Amino acid sequence: MKILEKKYLNHNVIRFCVQKPYGYVHRPGQAIELSIAKPGYELAIAPFTITSLSSDPHLELIVKINQEVDSLTYGMSTLKIGETLQITEPWDSYNYKGRGVFIAAGTGITPFLPILKELEAKGEDLLKEHVLLYGNRTKEDILFYGKLKKVLGRNCIHILSRSKSPNSIYGRINMDILKKNIKDLHQQFYICGPRLFEKDISKQLIAIGVKKRYIQTGNKF
């Protein structure tokens, strides 16, 4: 499918708007496998979350660029408007099962964006029903800072590991932060980020009493 738009959101994250196949239907939290037809990338394929809604006229992908020249995302960064991406049918990555806590690191926010968009469109009371714990290195790394604050208000909590900033917590998401911001152990917990991050957060949630059936991650353990 053709690339319609391409925009850097920060120094290493690009937003792609891609032509949507006729009749293509997807749900919030679903992902696709993606590849590009360029020399040197014949065997490169990777999953990416669709961040647009099925009602949108295009597909939106938020991609963190790996600067290694032979990486798929580096190859994507060199593509121009009008060039093509190869995509699969969508498949379930996350299923929204009700109110809860979203816990994300970096571009791990992407599966939760369409879920929040759909809830906002339905008029759900996000401020009371959902909390976002969003970890990044610096404030400049945060994606959609203004939008997330607008939708979630005080329930949008930023944790920065490399710099201090007003209205954010300095450090990493840990047991103390989880205990302070989790009021109910019998709600849903949606976790997305690097494999080790997801594993560590899952273990910490279980340690404070959350049942495994309430936890969703991108990497299955």
Looking from the CA of 87 toward its CB, the CA atoms found within 13 Å total 24
* C-alpha closest to that of 104 among 190, 10, 213, 13: 190
pLDDT in tens, 170-187: 999 999 999 999 989 999
> Whose structure tokens read 């891609």?
18
Instruction: Give 100-140 pLDDT, tens digit per residue.
Output: 999 999 999 999 999 999 998 887 676 678 999 999 999 99
